[in-house]
């Protein structure tokens, strides 16, 4: 980056504004150029300062962050990182913001947290250099899924990994799935408590059943399992039947849950009877796991650069040779179904 990312911090709490500013200013590639306590102040600051990135509190007086984000995306699209509480209400509002077009989200720190806003600077820098800097995402609406009779499911399972931009991407992919979709496991980098709300949101928007994964849940046709954020990784294993396992391990690639941990387990359990998909996101999590899946005989898909919010994880996977098919987001759902459908000559 030629110059530091210029950031406007918007939060109604002076204490929180000070904390965010202090954290960001520790990074030499980030510069906080202004602060605002509400939407009116923020609007004036955006006009005056023309920031590269805005951090935006969800809950503010007069006009909340969600309403202000909608105005930004309509009138002056720019990368916005939402700052939210860890409550259910905060999670719901943040997920709505990500669908509207927010770049990413961070959770407000809990009392005593050792590294408050630990990932914020990296997210700000990624936002500043985002390919979709002036992209305004449309609100996602439920769509009619293909009737179950049109799709005969085979024996394959699907594993998907995603991070920044993944909320919109996952909705776009999973809305293509019919009610009798193949068993699907997903790791999306997301703060704790947000994943339950996201699973509930996906369940309302999509034809299959979507739920937050629980330890021991059997992998079933017509069900999608989302890794819970927090202290455990999602894996798949085969005890009496293929099932989800939540395991306590150190973070991998800086993440827990980690996409690599999920993909590694799918490669071992399913081999050629799996499809691996890596979607938009920062960093490299999932790339080596997807390569293991491909070496084990699985079919693999990566989101292409043009449609990624951040072409990080898919790029590393592609450069490693892990990606068999690189596709635009709008084509990935159909490709998954094509690769998992039962063959005419017999169930695969």
Active site residues: 163, 189, 285
> How far does Cα 45 stand from its chain's mean position?
29
Taking only the tens of pLDDT, the chain with its 348 residues reads 468 999 999 999 999 999 999 999 999 999 999 999 999 999 999 999 999 999 999 988 888 999 999 999 999 999 999 999 878 888 899 999 999 999 999 989 888 777 889 899 999 999 998 844 444 444 444 454 444 558 889 999 999 999 999 999 999 999 999 999 999 999 999 988 899 999 999 999 999 999 999 999 999 999 999 999 988 999 999 977 899 999 999 999 999 999 999 999 999 999 999 999 999 999 999 999 999 999 999 999 999 999 999 999 999 999 999 999 999 999 999 999 999 998 754 445
Whether the ω angle into residue 257 lies within 30 degrees of 0, i.e. cis, is yes
SS3 247: strand
CB 327 within 8 A of CB 141: no
Instruction: Compute, in degrees rounded to 10, the torsion defined by CA atoms 87, 91, 97, 98.
Output: 150
- Please name the residue that has the structure tokens 């072409």: 311
The Cα–Cα gap between 22 and 18 comes to 6
Say what the pLDDT of residue 344 is: 54
Q: Is 14 exposed, middle or buried (0-12, 13-18, 19+ CB in 10 A)?
A: exposed
Contact between 161 and 286 under an 8 Å Cβ cutoff? The reply is yes
pLDDT digits (tens, 9 = 90+) for 47-89: 999 999 999 999 888 889 999 999 999 999 999 999 998 788 8
């Amino acid at each position: 980056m030629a110059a530091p990312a210029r950031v406007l911090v918007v939060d109604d709490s002076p204490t929180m504004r000070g904390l965010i500013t202090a954290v960001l200013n520790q990074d030499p590639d980030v510069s906080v150029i202004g602060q605002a306590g509400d939407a009116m102040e923020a609007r004036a600051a955006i006009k005056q300062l023309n920031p590269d990135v805005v951090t935006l509190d969800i809950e503010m007086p007069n006009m909340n962050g969600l309403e202000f984000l909608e105005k930004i995306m309509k009138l002056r699209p720019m990368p916005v990182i939402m700052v939210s509480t860890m409550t259910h209400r905060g999670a719901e509002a943040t997920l709505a913001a990500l669908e509207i077009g927010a770049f990413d989200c961070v959770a407000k720190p809990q009392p005593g947290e050792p590294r408050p806003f630990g990932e914020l600077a990296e997210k700000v820098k990624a936002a500043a250099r985002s390919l979709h800097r002036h992209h305004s995402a449309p609100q996602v609406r439920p769509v009619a899924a293909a009737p179950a009779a049109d799709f005969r499911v085979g024996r394959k399972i699907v594993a998907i990994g995603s991070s920044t931009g993944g909320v919109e991407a996952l909705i776009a992919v999973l809305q293509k799935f019919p009610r009798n979709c193949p068993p699907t496991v997903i790791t999306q980098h997301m703060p704790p408590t947000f994943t339950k709300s996201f699973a509930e949101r996906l369940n309302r928007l999509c034809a299959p059943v979507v739920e937050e994964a629980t330890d021991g849940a059997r992998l079933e046709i017509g069900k999608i399992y989302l890794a819970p954020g927090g202290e455990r990784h999602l894996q798949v294993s085969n005890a009496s039947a293929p099932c989800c396992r939540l395991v306590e391990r150190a973070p991998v690639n800086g993440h827990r849950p980690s996409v690599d941990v999920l993909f590694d387990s799918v490669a071992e359990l399913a081999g050629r009877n799996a499809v691996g998909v890596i979607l938009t996101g920062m960093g490299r999590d999932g790339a080596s796991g997807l390569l293991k899946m491909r070496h084990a005989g699985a079919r693999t898909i990566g989101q292409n650069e043009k449609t990624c919010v951040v072409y990080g994880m898919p790029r590393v996977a592609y450069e490693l040779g892990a990606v068999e098919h690189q596709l635009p987001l709008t084509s990935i759902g159909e490709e998954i179904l094509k690769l998992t459908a039962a063959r005419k000559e017999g169930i695969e």
